[in-house]
Structure 1
Amino acid sequence: MNIETTLQKLRIEALNDMQQDTIGAVLHSDKDIVVLAPTGSGKTLAYLLPLATKLDPALDEVQAVVIVPGRELAMQSNDVFRRMGTGMRSECLYGGRPTMDEHRTIMRTRPQVVFCTPGRLNDHIDKLNFSVEAVRWLVIDEFDKCLRMGFRAEMQKALESLPNVERRLLLSATDAEEMPAFVRMGRTQRIDYRIDEEQTPDRIGLYTVKSPEKDKIDTLMRMIYAFGNQQTIVFMNYRDGVERVGKYLADKGVAVSCLHGGLDQDQREEAVYHFANQSVNVLVGTDLAARGLDIPEVNNVIHYNLPVGEDEYIHRVGRTGRWEATGRAFMIIGPEETLPEYVKENTEEFVVPDAKACPPVPRMTTLYIGKGKKDKISKGDILGFLCKMCSLKGSDIGRIDVYERYAYVAVARGVARNVIKLAAGAKIKGMKTKVEEVRS
């Protein structure tokens, strides 16, 4: 695999210094590697690009295991690998769905890379659902969280079940307090791009917002209205708070998704999807939304509940200002609260303007198209259909996702109804199909 060719496919013009250093360390040394860099700096590509060059495309066995703390990051990383177009196969393994279904997929696709949560990896290894004999590469993404006490037993079992690992790559925005012996790190190269004495890049503005009431919901509502159709993540500490705030905003006409661990997998994927394609403006979530979501355009992060610690604070703020974009992070302070000691940087006070009369309207609408991969429909086919048959411009079209039997596409809200009207009875690749709005 040629890295330059892959970057062209991904439409990436240049790699940043951290990515170049990581690629060089993987390709030109035999050491284990620890990468510490801010959230949103491109760590996933930093390890996947060189890793792909080290795998044997002719060997139909799992050669690399990527362990992540949650299913969202597993899916995001797997999606990045597939979009690289290496010709090698990968699968995503996580809880919340039958292990047997994943086993059938493994048997059919014979993946060379698996992205997995610790518990589900152990399930497959225990059941001998794939061989670990050819696994030479181990990646632990968000390793600080994976190696905390809650994951410790599962991680130890998983790593001790991979006897032939030769290289280890560990990545995170924050370091672990200790490196357990069972990780078996050898000679190690550390690539540290954390910003000295700073928790967030200069491109992220930090603000405090005073709430006159202990219940901050009115202050939040006025902030959301003031932000207009900007993309905003609201962080809560508990799932019941997510449900309460999400319902309140929805009742006020705000387009909102909710994300917490009590939702089933389909609900979680749908919540992230509608926010990522800008069909909703606001995502209200627990710290589940602080890691593993590859959503580049997040304008604002709001700490409705104060983060429980510095690591949670850093990962939450890292949802905005990704790559070289700018962003803002707001901490709502109630009458009995003070700014946490772990916030080391200067903040400005943000005065919330009076609420507008109308709730913000999202930029995009998600449309359902009743044809998918089984019909040999591609993203290019859908793009051509929308431009030719529905008279859309490229600027009217957002994210396109093609699944086995259907596809989703985000289009500018102002043209959605006309698209549905023009698509009625029209054909895509000679086939009539249903096109309708997906309600978030």
Structure 2
Amino acid sequence: MTAFSSLGLSDALLRAVQEQGYDTPSPIQAQAIPVVLEGRDLLAAAQTGTGKTAGFTLPMLQLLSEHRPPDGHQLRALVLTPTRELAAQVGESVSTYGRHLPLRSAIVFGGVSINPQKDLLRRGVDILVATPGRLLDLQGQGCVDLSHVQILVLDEADRMLDMGFIHDIKRILKLLPKKRQNLMFSATFSPEIRRLTSDILHNPTSIEVSRNVTAHKIEQRFHAVEKTEKMTVLAHMILAGNWSQVLVFSRTKHGANRLSQQLERNGISAVAIHGNKSQNARTRALSDFKGGLVRVLVATDIAARGLDIDHLPHVVNYELPNVPADYVHRIGRTGRAGASGEAVSLISRDEEKEFRAIERLLRQKFDVQPAPAVDLDMLQASAANYVPQPEAPAAAPRAAKSGNGQRRGGGQGRAKPAGGDQPRRASGNEAAPSRRRRPRRSTPA
């Protein structure tokens, strides 16, 4: 099997990878890293959970560290993502794998104060991870110089098109140097993606890994449930199975709020996360969920591609998604980096069309089982006796130090905001690394 040491990465990067407990690259990493190191443009189709973030982060860090400008830190690499959560996840990977390199990075997105992000950019960064809207806001205020960008990464390009970012992306492209390396990652090679590719990439190498395929270690279960009984069945599965960490997907924001409130009334701690929540509320919800303070996180599809939760054991589709590909992204929150996981879908009579679309997409027939029998007395007793076991409190959020002792900015409230803003609670992406020994995993995220 391929080892990271055979891919041409520097000792500093290999050390960071080893410290994370990884030894073997995933297929997307083994194929993408050499291409990026050669300086070629890349178009990669890779599902969530296949390790694509490290597939571009590691070689990008290598190239930037090999050719440093003499006059300090310049913005030389730009990573665009569709959501705040995904920006935070990618930024954390940059910080983690670049911890032994003299590079600075920052993360910028909307929904939080822009002033701390301006401060970080004034100090100079080598790598910027951004959502398109906030990047254009900062550029319009003269806070970002894109004229030295050597590497452009479009992560989850299909999602950016779905969310209507195409015009923002075209505006950003006009601000970048004509000569640069372009890396595009997408879950699909749709006609829209191919058109965007022709506008951005030059003679790219194409890689296709695990297209619309669910991870082998994810156990998928489907239950036929009357719509009015879904809440009771969900509570039964959580309590009877003693599930302590469950990510539940709802189709709508209102439905996510209602479901989290119903779970709370049944003695199951829950919180909702969706686009109408403030960034502070989203960060706090994710932090509480990762830390074991909340048992259930109810999310809309905004979280399907942006959440990276180590060893998440259970994902539940309370409602099937309207777009079948979103099913793959949803359940991809579990079974990550080679771990096992369980994905349960509750299917009501009016979701037959969505279920068949998922089967066609995955080219697989699934058995639909009856809903498990519910014992209401047992549910009440289980809820009353459940004792949460949160992890040790995380350290206060702080900026990671780069190899030369400089602080590496994050743009997520790592520094105390100016102008009287309250410091935000750390999310799992912002907290200091746990001191517990990590189990060795074969491939990085």
Short-chain TM bin: 0.7 to 0.9
Measure the CA separation in 2 of the matches of 1:11 and 1:408: 13
CA separation in 1, counterparts of 2:428 and 2:111?
Answer: 25
Q: 1:349 aligns with which of 368, 377, 381?
A: 368
What amino acid maps onto 1:6 in structure 2? A
Whole-Å Cα distance in 1 between the matches of residues 435 and 365 of structure 2? 38
Give the equivalent residue in structure 2 for 1:91. 106
1: CA distance between counterparts of 2:246 and 2:281?
A: 19
Indicate how the Cα distance of structure 1 residues 305 and 137 shifts in structure 2: closer, same or farther if over 3 A, else same: same
The offset of 1:408, in angstroms, is: 10
- Look up the SS of the partner of 1:331 in the other structure: strand
- For 2:157 and 2:169, the matched residues in 1 are separated by 10
Shift of 1:17: 2.5
Return the offset for 1:361. Answer: 4.1
CA separation in 2, counterparts of 1:316 and 1:291? 7
* Structure 1: gaps (5+ residues): 377-398, 412-440
CA 98–364 in structure 1, closer or farther in 2 if over 3 Å, else same: closer
Structure 1 position 250, deviation (Å): 1.3
Task: Report percent identity of matched pairs.
Answer: 28
* 1:23 to partner: Cα distance: 0.5
Match of 1:70 among 74, 83, 91: 83
Counterpart amino acid of residue 89 in structure 1: R
- From 13, 32, 48, the equivalent of 2:41 is 32
Residue 49 (structure 1) aligned to one of 36, 48, 58: 58
CA 1:119–1:400 in structure 2 vs 1: closer, same or farther (change >3 Å)? Answer: closer
Are the aligned partners of 1:214 and 1:336 in contact in 2 as well (CA < 8 Å)?
no
Instruction: Tell me the CA shift for residue 349 of structure 1.
Output: 3.2
Structure 2: stretches of 5+ with no match in the other structure: 1-9, 402-426, 437-445
- Greater fraction of residues in strand: 1
The 8 Å contact of residues 92 and 429 in structure 2, kept in 1 or not, is answered as no
User: Against the structure 1 CA distance between its residues 250 and 192, is the aligned structure 2 distance closer, same or farther, given a 3 Å change threshold?
Assistant: same
Task: Tell me the amino acid that sits aligned with residue 67 of structure 1.
Answer: L
Contact 2:79 2:152 in 1 (8 A): yes
Q: What is the distance in 2 between the residues matched to 1:213 and 1:17?
A: 40
2:443 is matched with none
Name which of structure 1's ranges 331-340 and 19-28 shifts more when overlaid on structure 2. 331-340
Report matched runs for 1:3-402 at 5 Å.
Answer: 3-28=13-38, 30-55=39-64, 56-58=67-69, 59-84=72-97, 85=99, 86-108=101-123, 110-148=124-162, 150-178=164-192, 179-181=194-196, 183-194=199-210, 199-214=213-228, 216-338=230-352, 340-344=355-359, 345-350=364-369, 351-355=371-375, 356=378, 357-359=381-383, 360-365=386-391, 367=393
- Asked if structure 2 preserves the Cα contact closer than 8 Å seen for 1:236 and 1:305, the reply is yes
Q: Residues 410, 349 of structure 1: CA spacing in aligned structure 2 closer, same or farther, 3 A cutoff? A: farther
Structure 1 contact 277–410 (Cα < 8 Å) conserved: no
Matched length: 380
Please give the TM-score of this superposition, normalised by the length of structure 1: 0.79
| Distance verdict in 2 for CA 1:169–1:103, change over 3 Å | same
Contact 2:92 2:430 in 1 (8 A): no
Whole-Å separation in 2 of the counterparts to 1:264 and 1:410: 30
Aligned to 1:438: none
- Counterpart contact for 1:229–1:363, Cα < 8 Å: no
Structure 2 CA distance for partners of 1:18 and 1:259, relative to 1, 3 Å: same
The alignment partner of 1:358 has SS state of helix
Measure the CA separation in 1 of the matches of 2:227 and 2:348: 6
Structure 1: distance between partners of 2:186 and 2:138:
25
| CA 149–281 in structure 1, closer or farther in 2 if over 3 Å, else same | closer
Distance 1:149 1:225 in 2: 36
Runs of 4+ aligned residues of structure 1 deviating over 6 Å after TM superposition are 399-403, 407-411
- After superposition, the Cα gap between the structure-2 partners of 1:248 and 1:349, relative to the gap in structure 1 and judged at 3 Å, is same
The answer on whether the counterparts of 1:231 and 1:297 sit within 8 Å (CA) in structure 2 is no
Query: Contact 1:239/1:261 (CA < 8 Å) preserved in 2?
Result: yes
**Match of 1:82, as an amino acid?**
S
Match of 1:428 in 2: none
AA in 1 matched with 2:48:
T
Could you tell me whether the CA contact under 8 Å between 2:247 and 2:299 is conserved in 1? yes
Deviations for 1:51-83, whole angstroms, at most 9, x for unmatched residues?
001114444110000000011111111111111
Deviations 1:15-43 (A, max 9, x none): 12221111011113x43101222211111
Secondary structure of the structure 1 residue equivalent to 2:336? coil
Q: CA deviation at 1:262?
A: 1.1
User: 2: distance between equivalents of 1:156 and 1:252?
Assistant: 48
Alignment-mate amino acid for residue 12 of structure 1: Y
Cα contact 2:157–2:186 (8 A) shared by 1: yes
Contact 1:230–1:300 at 8 Å: present in 2 too? no
Question: In the TM superposition, what whole-angstrom CA distance separates every residue of 1:408-434 from its partner, at most 9, and x where no partner exists?
Answer: 9799xxxxxxxxxxxxxxxxxxxxxxx
Distance in 1 separating the partners of 2:231 and 2:311: 24
Cα distance, 1:183 vs structure 2: 3.9
